[in-house]
Homo-oligomer: A and B are copies of this chain.
Amino acid sequence: MRALVYRDGALTLERAYAPPVPAEGEALVRVLMAGICNTDIEIVRGYLNFAGVLGHEFVGVVEELSGRRAREQYQHLLGRRVVGDINAACRRSDCWYCQHAMPTQCPRRTTLGIGGRDGAFAEYLLLPVENLHLVPDNVSDEEAVFVEPLAANFEMLEQVHLHPSDRVLVLGDGKMGQLAAPVLALSGCAVTMLGKHEEKLALAAQQGIETRLLHASEAFTFNADERVDAVVECTGSAQGLELALRLVRPRGTLFLKSTVADKTTLHLAPIVIDEIRVQGSRCGPFEPALRALSLRQIEIKPLISARYTLDNALEAFDYAQQKGVLKVLLHIG
């Protein structure tokens, strides 16, 4: 099959990559469409030492179920469109994380296109049957590709109780911020996006998000009384993090979502003095994300910058790394 493979520092479109064979409990999924995420780009820059097929945002059709239990219990998935949790947990009875309903933190997990498991930029992929979620008929393929990153934003609402009366700031107007803002706004809180790109802020504004343009030269700051209940750091930069700490109120929450690969110099005293909660946040629940799309609560179409075929995946990857580009989709199946 065709697959976009990262190995030994090189990204290659292989045309005769061995098709995967499902192990017991796994489903074989024919990939319809996939999305390029910043994590994919970081992997290609050397983050995480992954080797294999890239890609973890996808929608596909279940073609085969392996093992008797999978065939009996998940028969209803056959031939249907699905999205999938990217973390494949061990689910062993002696695994503390699996037994405490935290499969995404299982220390023996593999992660689709990120760690120990081939990903979605290929004609076929494998995932454990438990990871799959049916896509409602009124959710398009292009929308379904956004379920994984949307779910990751719903994780913040799982971790911290945001009140409808809270004020929240999304720092950064890129892909991550564009999904964080509308998801957090569902909680009723007042969300403002702070960014440096007029045209990207305009996209958020179209969704009813308050926006504020941050000029590169501006030493942006808030008065003590303006500081907000929560800040989501979506810039992935050390300066963004420092700014976030100045904008969150005492006893507020600072969500860290981007895995800044390099070491960051950080003044920790403000975290202690202001008793800030710095909350790391990664993968999240798929069902709320599917509901939000099915209920038309979140509009993702304006975030699609370009569509490519798998044959043009290398070109798509180049384009995804250009300034100003949001989501790049690969039409595969």
Question: Chain A's interface: helix, strand, loop or mixed, by majority?
Answer: mixed
Cα distance, A266 to B266, chains bound together (Å) = 7
Q: Is A213 an interface residue (CB 8 A)?
A: no
Q: Is A182 an interface residue (CB 8 A)?
A: no
Closest to A253 in B: B277
A97 shortest CB reach to chain B, Å: 7
Q: Is A225 an interface residue (CB 8 A)?
A: yes
Residues on B with beta carbons closer than 8 Å to the beta carbon of A276: 280
Task: Verify B271–A256 contact, CB threshold 8 A.
Answer: yes
Q: Is A261 an interface residue (CB 8 A)?
A: yes
Task: Verify B273–A264 contact, CB threshold 8 A.
Answer: no
A226 shortest CB reach to chain B, Å: 11
Partner of A263, one of B257, B265, B272, B275: B265
Residues on B with beta carbons closer than 8 Å to the beta carbon of A97: 250
A130 shortest CB reach to chain B, Å: 19
Closest to A269 in B: B259
Residues on B with beta carbons closer than 8 Å to the beta carbon of A224: 107
Closest to A106 in B: B250
Task: Verify A261–B250 contact, CB threshold 8 A.
Answer: no
Task: Verify A258–B272 contact, CB threshold 8 A.
Answer: yes
